């Protein structure tokens, strides 16, 4: 099973902190999980360039961005369907540091003898 780990900076007027979190979804197919990491990065680059006047690079709006709520985008699920997901790493004082696929090893029940 695969999960996506997000590392981001969260900050306010009192300072910043580095945060780490996992998306609530998991995937059996590593290729689909990797495609979603690409979507996360593309969405972040587009959103940052579209909403930051200091950014001197412009990115095309990806087709998987929600038309009504541009902080959300479609994640691809193992069954081929898509589910919109709100990017918690986008906001005032927040910035994406990395997104990566990790293997999730479910905890095994202890052997009882």
Q: What region, left, alpha or beta, does residue 41 occupy, with left being phi > 0 and alpha being psi -120 to 50 degrees?
A: alpha
pLDDT tier for residue 26 given thresholds of 50, 70 and 90: very high
Query: Higher-confidence residue: 110 or 56?
Result: 56
Task: Tell me the pLDDT tens digit for each residue of 51-88.
Answer: 876 666 778 889 999 988 899 999 999 999 999 999 99
| C-alpha torsion 98→25→77→91, nearest 10 | -50
The pLDDT of residue 3: 97
Is there a contact between 7 and 74 (Cβ–Cβ < 8 Å)? no
| Mean pLDDT in residue range 9-29 | 90
Q: What is the three-class DSSP state of 107?
A: coil
Q: What is the pLDDT of residue 59?
A: 81
Residue 35 pLDDT more than 50? Answer: yes
């Amino acid at each position: 099973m695969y999960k996506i780990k997000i590392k981001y900076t969260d900050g306010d007027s009192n300072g910043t902190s580095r945060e780490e979190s996992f998306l609530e979804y998991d995937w059996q197919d590593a290729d689909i999980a990797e495609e979603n990491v690409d979507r996360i990065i593309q969405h972040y680059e587009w959103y940052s360039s579209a909403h930051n006047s200091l950014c001197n690079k412009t990115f095309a709006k990806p087709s998987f961005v929600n038309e009504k709520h541009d902080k959300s985008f479609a994640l691809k699920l193992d069954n081929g369907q898509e589910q919109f997901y709100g990017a918690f790493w986008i906001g005032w004082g927040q910035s994406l540091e990395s997104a990566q696929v990790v293997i999730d090893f479910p905890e095994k029940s202890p052997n009882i003898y």
